[in-house]
């Protein structure tokens, strides 16, 4: 029997994204949040907690970032609901201290971040102060996750960011993860161009991860299936063998793979060409994984000019927060965008 797909990025949806300049801007956010949470089956008390968190986020954006930021509602696989506050303010000088109840830089009671931690199932904060480095993002990202029920500890922590050009309903970027107990496989694709045809080209490929005998066979099967579509695609394929602590990567086209460990970011490029069209033969690359290492794969809708110096300490955060920070700060607004971040526990 074919093992189930661990996740499919078609379940990753941006449901709301708006700039927050004043308190009245939060009215639409809270209304949308209530509607989405009710549809996903969250109980009344849980929805009230979400609204409280959203209100704190609005207040913080106005007071500390002077309205230079956005609030987003994301649905993630498993009917998980994420709230993200992402701003371009002065950042937080001491993030650990700021999360403690009673700490405030604005003369308030200072319970905002602490209450968010208590009310959400998952919480993350990443902040950077302004620097002299041109083009480097500074500000604060706050992530709160609400899950529909209790979940057993996962062997993998996963983060997804998938956003289409101009928030179109069709997205040519697609991410599949598949686990069979002995290995975890990742297939991250970017269909040529964007729109419905690009989205169709990269869909219906989940079964290839389970049926391929090897990683080269997986890439070959995807190549042959794409030849029957009007669009080709570029892609990264990865296989993680947890017992051996070994990661194998291979790919074709303008995608980027990164392995973050020990304060460094190693970047991997792939064979030129397009799957389903003409391309050079891809070669597998094996990487030994130390505990805590993080794999980051990105489509060309994400700019590549980032490393540990650009985002010090980011890869030590939960993979979902890493994906949101990179997706919001490094996006090319002329293409579909996607990020997958994976850590093996």
What residues does each domain of the chain span? 11-146, 156-344
Q: Which residues of 268-305 are buried (b: 16+ CB within 10 A; e: fewer)?
A: bebbebbbbbebeebeebebebeeebbbbbbbbbbeee
Task: Quote the pLDDT of residue 182.
Answer: 83
Check pLDDT > 60 for residue 109. no
| Span 330-342, average pLDDT | 96
Greater confidence (60 vs 3) lies with 60
Q: Give CA–CA dist 91/95, Å, rounded.
A: 9
Strand partners for 271: 252
Residue in the block written with tokens 């997958």: 340
Q: What is the per-residue pLDDT across 165-223, written as a single tens digit (0 to 9) for each?
A: 999 999 999 999 999 878 999 999 999 999 999 999 999 999 999 999 999 999 999 99
Fold exhibited by the domain 11-146: Heat Shock Protein 90 (3.30.565)
Task: Quote the pLDDT of residue 97.
Answer: 60
Q: What is the per-residue pLDDT across 275-301, written as a single tens digit (0 to 9) for each?
A: 999 999 999 999 998 888 999 999 999
Task: Quote the pLDDT of residue 5.
Answer: 59
Task: Quote the pLDDT of residue 95.
Answer: 66
Q: Helix or strand or coil: residue 65?
A: coil
Q: Does domain 156-344 have CATH number 3.40.50.2000?
A: no
Mean pLDDT over the full length of the chain? 91
Check pLDDT > 50 for residue 1. no
Determine the longest span between alpha carbons in the chain, in angstroms: 63
Q: Do residues 39 and 145 lie in contact, with contact meaning Cβ atoms separated by under 8 Å?
A: no
Helix (H) or strand (E) holding 312: none
Q: What secondary structure letter does DSSP report for 290?
A: -
Q: Do residues 194 and 170 lie in contact, with contact meaning Cβ atoms separated by under 8 Å?
A: yes
Task: Quote the pLDDT of residue 213.
Answer: 95
Q: Give CA–CA dist 345/336, Å, rounded.
A: 30
Strand partners for 298: 256, 339
Q: Where does the pLDDT of residue 99 fall: very low under 50, low under 70, confident under 90, or very high at 90 and above? A: low
| Span 238-248, average pLDDT | 93
End-to-end Cα distance, the chain: 26
Task: Quote the pLDDT of residue 23.
Answer: 81
Check pLDDT > 80 for residue 51. yes
Task: Quote the pLDDT of residue 111.
Answer: 64
Q: Give CA–CA dist 249/215, Å, rounded.
A: 8
Q: Where does the pLDDT of residue 106 fall: very low under 50, low under 70, confident under 90, or very high at 90 and above? A: very low
Angle at 141 between CA 137 and CA 143, to 5 degrees: 155
Greater confidence (5 vs 135) lies with 135
Check pLDDT > 70 for residue 308. yes
Q: Helix or strand or coil: residue 293?
A: coil
Q: Where does the pLDDT of residue 4 fall: very low under 50, low under 70, confident under 90, or very high at 90 and above? A: low
Q: Where does the pLDDT of residue 3 fall: very low under 50, low under 70, confident under 90, or very high at 90 and above? A: very low
Q: Where does the pLDDT of residue 264 fall: very low under 50, low under 70, confident under 90, or very high at 90 and above? A: very high
Task: Quote the pLDDT of residue 262.
Answer: 84
Task: Quote the pLDDT of residue 149.
Answer: 84
Q: Give CA–CA dist 52/44, Å, rounded.
A: 13
Show the tokens assigned to 100. Answer: 């403690």
């Amino acid at each position: 029997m074919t093992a189930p797909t661990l996740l499919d990025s078609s379940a990753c949806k941006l449901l709301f994204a708006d700039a927050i300049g004043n308190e009245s801007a939060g009215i639409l956010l809270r209304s949308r949040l209530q509607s989405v949470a009710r549809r996903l089956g969250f109980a009344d008390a849980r929805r009230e907690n979400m609204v409280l968190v959203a209100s704190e986020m609005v207040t913080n954006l106005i007071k500390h970032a002077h309205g230079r930021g956005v609030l987003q509602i994301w649905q993630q696989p498993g009917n998980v609901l994420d709230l993200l506050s992402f701003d371009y303010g002065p950042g937080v000088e001491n993030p650990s201290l700021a999360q403690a109840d009673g700490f405030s830089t604005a003369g308030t009671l200072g319970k905002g971040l602490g209450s968010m931690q208590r009310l959400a199932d998952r919480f993350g904060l990443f902040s950077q102060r302004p620097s002299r480095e041109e083009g480097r993002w500074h500000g604060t990202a706050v992530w709160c996750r609400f899950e529909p029920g209790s979940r057993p500890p996962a062997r993998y922590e996963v983060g997804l960011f998938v956003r289409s050009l101009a928030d179109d309903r069709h997205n040519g970027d697609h991410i599949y993860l598949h686990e069979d107990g002995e290995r975890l496989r990742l297939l991250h694709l970017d269909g040529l161009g964007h729109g419905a045809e690009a989205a169709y080209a990269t869909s219906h490929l989940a079964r290839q991860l389970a049926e391929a005998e090897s990683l080269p066979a997986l890439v070959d099967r995807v190549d042959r299936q794409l030849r029957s579509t009007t669009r080709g695609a570029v892609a990264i394929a990865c296989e993680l063998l947890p017992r051996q602590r070994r990661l194998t990567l291979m790919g074709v086209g303008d995608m980027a793979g990164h392995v973050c460990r020990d304060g460094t970011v190693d970047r991997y490029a792939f064979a030129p060409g397009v799957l389903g069209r003409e391309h050079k033969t891809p070669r597998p690359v094996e990487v030994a994984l130390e505990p805590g290492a993080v794999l980051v794969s990105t489509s060309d809708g994400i700019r590549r000019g980032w490393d540990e110096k650009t985002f010090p300490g980011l890869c030590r955060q939960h993979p979902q927060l890493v994906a949101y920070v990179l997706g919001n700060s490094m996006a090319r607004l002329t293409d579909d965008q996607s990020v997958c971040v994976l850590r093996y526990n």
